[in-house]
Amino acid sequence: MTRPRILTGDTPTGRLHLGHLVGSLENRVRLQDDHECFFLIANVHAFTTRAERPDDIRRDTIEVVRDYLAVGIDPARSTLVLQSEIRAIPELTFLLAMLLPFQRVMRNPTLKAELADKQLEQHSFGFPLYTVGQCADILAFRAELVPVGEDQAATIEMCREVARRFEHVYGGSVFPIPEVLLGRVARLPGTDGVQKMSKSLGNAIFLSDTRAEIQRKMRGLYTGRQSATDPGDPDNALFQYARAFIADPERVRVLAERYARGDDIGDGEIKAEVAEAIDAVLAPMRERRAAYDGPRGEAAIIELLREHARRASAVADETLARVKAAMRLDLDAAPATAERRSSEAHLPAPPSSALAPR
């Protein structure tokens, strides 16, 4: 029986946080049983912004795998994909890049938001190219479902477009059109109470934070409320956390109601209760993470990545072979020219605009 395939992943720019958890990681853990899952560590993409810091990228790659294993991604059921080990991915990136108009890539809202957020004076050629690379990550595994946070949705849309265009131009039925799967919380604010949670903004609660760190960060959460009798906004960042992490919705409802009325309820008590709830979610992760601590843990992770890369490469290599066959780049099959010519005659002719920039 074949299970629907999933591919998603993370760029190793640091440890993963609660935003990643509610945006995508929870879905991954939940879907492992009835899907064939590939979880990719996009270490090549990390060079888009940190090309001169390869040691940091290596360290963060290991940290992301620790986070994956801690959160409950099970290496016995799911395949970890270290991007730099999969040779078919850069090759597919190059081929797909020919099917995407330059302006289309530059218009991608995910890319534009990232370029704006990072406030770079200039960016490498590789920065926009990474979005095409992301399409290749997904399509190399012929994934049907891509669990990501809302910020990535526009890139997945571009992936759908390029998959359709490939089929239109070359045929071959190589790629399913992948669907995006968003998390239960669209956008989790950071502890600044305003911007989305992000490591680079310094407003993140990490999956690897201790109980004391969680409490400290929650205490510092900005709400702007002055006293326990001020009517509060039950949709502020504090309550977005309460809704995301307090398990009992009835309890959240009661708190929100008292908060809105300013019914003698201080931010401090709610923060303490939310911190408790977050700690309860993260506590089992700490235990699982402990098994991969230190140099011995790192060695085990590297072994895992090596073994999984073999499995992953086999899948991606098969995709690439099918892609090349569809594109008539398969020199080995040259004797079949006559047959291929006749099949080409049956292909619908692509409109002449199919490749023109818009």
Judged by beta carbon, residue 42 or residue 278, the one nearer ligand TRP is 42
Judged by beta carbon, residue 50 or residue 328, the one nearer ligand TRP is 50
Number of CB atoms found within 10 A of residue 56's CB: 14
Closest approach, Cβ 258 to ligand TRP, in A, equals 37
Q: Which residues are at the interface with ligand TRP (CB under 6 A)?
A: 7-11, 40, 42, 45, 134, 137-138, 146, 148, 152
Closest approach, Cβ 38 to ligand TRP, in A, equals 9
Q: At what angle do helices 267-290 and 54-71 cross, to 10 degrees?
A: 100
Judged by beta carbon, residue 109 or residue 249, the one nearer ligand TRP is 109
How far apart CA 62 and CA 55 sit, in angstroms, is 11
- State whether the Cα torsion 125-357-11-175 is positive or negative: negative
Judged by beta carbon, residue 6 or residue 237, the one nearer ligand TRP is 6
* C-alpha distances in Å from residue 175, one per residue of 49, 163, 221, 338: 30, 6, 45, 25
In the block, which residue shows the tokens 């590297």? 302
Closest approach, Cβ 1 to ligand TRP, in A, equals 25
What is the per-residue DSSP string for 232-267? --TTSHHHHHHHHH-S-HHHHHHHHHHHHHT-S--H
Judged by beta carbon, residue 40 or residue 282, the one nearer ligand TRP is 40
Judged by beta carbon, residue 39 or residue 259, the one nearer ligand TRP is 39
Smallest CA-to-CA distance from 88 within 308, 318, 311 is with: 318
Judged by beta carbon, residue 199 or residue 340, the one nearer ligand TRP is 199
In whole angstroms, what separates CA 35 from the centre of its chain?
A: 17
How far apart CA 257 and CA 232 sit, in angstroms, is 9
In the block, which residue shows the tokens 């395949």? 79
Closest approach, Cβ 340 to ligand TRP, in A, equals 32
Closest approach, Cβ 40 to ligand TRP, in A, equals 5
Closest approach, Cβ 56 to ligand TRP, in A, equals 16
Closest approach, Cβ 45 to ligand TRP, in A, equals 6
